[in-house]
């Protein structure tokens, strides 16, 4: 049986998923996309998992892009299906009801940047290079890059990255809002796991409500988004976590959230 290209390990409510193709700079082929879908489904279904951290193996790349050798042989119909497969995965990650943190180092190009953008938060190491270079291959982003860049960084930045195809550094990505933090490469894992631990200690139902409100609300008119937020806010008052959180605040102690 062929080993999965996605490794998984757990630590205190945090599941770390590692794309393990360092010899190909963790490029996304069909098998890897399918393995990621399986891994994220398992993380969603496991009640012990509160946060997912996604990264790539080796010091050179988070994900350097889609697997060009595999893509080059595709017919137009197969290419459309490959794009749809990638988009379904990115959508699954984006709509996961648990926070997903991308730990980004080295190259995050093409499908790699699209994968990072589907995560809820992104921490990048200094020296990281991010971009959508598909135009240099006579192609365009196909895993949602045009749409998420537009929504995260605005039309000008989306067009700059996609039309020119030139990568940007982590500092520029931070300026554009494509990553939330930039740290020294030696500190990347520590900083990411500290953030993940903080999220894992938070109230799971509240985190889910926030993710739903921001992501679903961002796709509808303001009045609908406000109504959705209000409804989710009210539902949280039926949770044990809300009782625990407010009691802990009044009693001046650290809350212990159980996700109920």
Whole-number pLDDT of residue 67: 87
Buried b (16+ CB within 10 A) or exposed e, 203-218: bbbbbbbbbbbeeebe
Mark whether 223 and 127 lie in a shared domain. no
Terminal CA-to-CA distance of the chain, rounded, Å? 39
Mark whether 44 and 100 lie in a shared domain. yes
Mark whether 57 and 150 lie in a shared domain. yes
Whole-number pLDDT of residue 218: 80
User: What band does 100 get if pLDDT is binned at 50, 70 and 90?
Assistant: very high
Domain presence at residue 124: yes
Q: Which residues contact 78 (CB under 8 A, 6 or more apart)?
A: none
Mark whether 41 and 158 lie in a shared domain. yes
DSSP state of 182: E
Domain count, the chain: 2
Report whether 80 contacts 149 (CB < 8 A): no
Mark whether 69 and 39 lie in a shared domain. yes
Domain presence at residue 240: yes
Half-sphere exposure of 139 (CA within 13 A, CB side): 20
Q: What percent of the chain has pLDDT over 70?
A: 100
Count each helix (H run) and each strand (E run) in the chain, helices first.
11, 10
Mark whether 134 and 239 lie in a shared domain. no
Whole-number pLDDT of residue 1: 58
Mark whether 95 and 184 lie in a shared domain. yes
Structural domain boundaries enclosing 59: 6-200
- Please identify every residue annotated as catalytic: 114, 134
Q: What is the mean pLDDT of residues 217-223?
A: 87
Whole-number pLDDT of residue 229: 93
Mark whether 133 and 239 lie in a shared domain. no
Q: Output the average pLDDT for the chain.
A: 95
Domain presence at residue 212: yes
Domain presence at residue 255: no
Q: Which tokens is 190 given?
A: 């520590």
Question: Which domain CATH number covers 192?
Answer: 3.90.226.10
For residue 18, the tally of other CB atoms under 10 A from its CB is 20
Report whether 65 contacts 109 (CB < 8 A): yes
Domain presence at residue 146: yes
Report whether 233 contacts 113 (CB < 8 A): no
Q: Which strands form 61-63's sheet, in the order they lie side by side?
A: 61-63, 107-109, 129-131, 168-169
Whole-number pLDDT of residue 180: 97
Q: What is the pTM of this model?
A: 0.95
Mark whether 168 and 237 lie in a shared domain. no
Report whether 170 contacts 108 (CB < 8 A): no
User: What band does 96 get if pLDDT is binned at 50, 70 and 90?
Assistant: very high
Q: Which residues contact 216 (CB under 8 A, 6 or more apart)?
A: 225, 228
Mark whether 234 and 105 lie in a shared domain. no
Domain presence at residue 196: yes
**Is 243 a residue whose pLDDT tops 80?**
yes
């Amino acid at each position: 049986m062929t080993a999965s290209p996605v490794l998984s390990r757990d630590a205190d409510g945090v599941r770390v998923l590692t794309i393990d193709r360092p010899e190909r700079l963790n490029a996304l082929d069909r098998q890897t996309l399918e393995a990621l879908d399986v891994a994220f489904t398992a993380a969603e279904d496991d009640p012990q998992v509160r946060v997912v951290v996604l990264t790539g193996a080796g010091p050179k790349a988070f994900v350097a892009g889609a697997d060009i050798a595999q893509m080059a042989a595709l017919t137009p119909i197969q290419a459309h299906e490959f794009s749809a497969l990638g988009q379904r995965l990115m959508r699954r990650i984006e709509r996961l009801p648990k926070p997903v943190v991308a730990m980004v180092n080295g190259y995050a190009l093409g499908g790699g940047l699209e994968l990072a953008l589907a995560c809820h938060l992104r921490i990048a190491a200094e020296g990281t290079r991010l971009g959508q270079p598909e135009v240099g291959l006579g192609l365009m982003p196909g895993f949602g890059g045009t749409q998420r860049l537009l929504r995260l960084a605005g039309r000008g930045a989306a067009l700059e990255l996609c039309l020119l195809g030139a990568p940007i550094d982590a500092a520029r990505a931070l300026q554009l809002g494509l990553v939330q933090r930039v740290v020294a490469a030696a500190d990347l894992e520590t900083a990411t796991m500290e953030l993940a631990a903080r999220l894992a200690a938070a109230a799971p139902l509240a985190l889910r409500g926030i993710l739903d409100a921001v992501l679903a609300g961002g796709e509808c008119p303001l009045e609908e988004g406000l109504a959705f937020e209000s409804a989710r806010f009210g539902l949280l008052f039926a949770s044990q976590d809300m009782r625990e959180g407010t009691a802990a605040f009044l009693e001046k102690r650290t809350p212990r959230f159980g996700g109920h």
